[in-house]
Amino acid sequence: MPAAPAAKPPLAAADEAAAACELLLPRLPGVSRAQCVATQLQSSGAQSRQGTPLYWRDVLQPAAVPASRASHRQGAEPLRVLVVGAMHGDELTAASLALRWIGMAAAEGAASLPSPEMPVAQGASAERTPAAAPVHWRFIPVLNPDGLLAPKPTRVNAGGVDLNRNFPTPGWAQDAPVYWEKRTRKDPRRWPGHEPLSEPESRFLHQQMEQFRPQLVVSIHAPYGVLDFDGPHDPPARLGRLRMDKLGVFPGSLGHYGGLHRGVPVVTIELEHALLMPAEAEVRAMWRDLRQWMNTRLLHGGDAVAGVPAPSVQR
């Protein structure tokens, strides 16, 4: 499986994006067909347990700095940000928000340096928050397509596993089964699986953590209506209407694995509704607040990480 979406002929890429939207769009609230197709989703080469393609999209934004600081920032490596939606298949708005944000990331890149290779989703605004370094976004809008596309969408994947309890956190073999049995009373919606990374979807995301080496992970969920955060740096106080309210640490969760075990900040967004998208103004406010936090804490603040060398698999 390639480390990054490979370049494709325009017709092939358009066909692939159309196929992705044909498959996913009937389940995605608040996303028009034009917006979906404009995201130019590509197959990652990985598949779900039932053989459904796992789609992704990379958006590489050029640097956007004042001319007076350009020489200082020349050669800065892009900040690598991984955005994951619909890890739980019944959280439909998580996938929709990730798709909408692909258009906004592409619009920012187009505003920084117009390019025919970076289309803007219909209805996306070209407004952007100035960044101190380039940003390489990797979006995986639907990590659990089998759950999302089930006759009745399910939290778990086709193997009955909660993907957000299937990551290899320290002590998983002892902690995850006990937590499931004692704390959840063997809730089938929260079964962690027989072993960590037992599922193709969690293995795919784990591979992205190894190969893409994100410096920030944004995991989109619903419907608790709060923000959660794991890892280094000061967390964002709010994204739009959502305020920080840490939900705890769970064996096998992405926040535990990425934020506490690997030391990568993980922002977990819990939208207010799993089936009803936030208003357009709120979608943009959350994006604006995320970008502002990235700018102040990750790009040029005291917690700057933009100078970390890119992985060798970077294109």
Catalytic residue among 16, 270, 280, 282: 270
CA 299 to chain centre: 19
Q: Is residue 270 annotated as part of the catalytic site, yes or no?
A: yes
Active site residues: 270
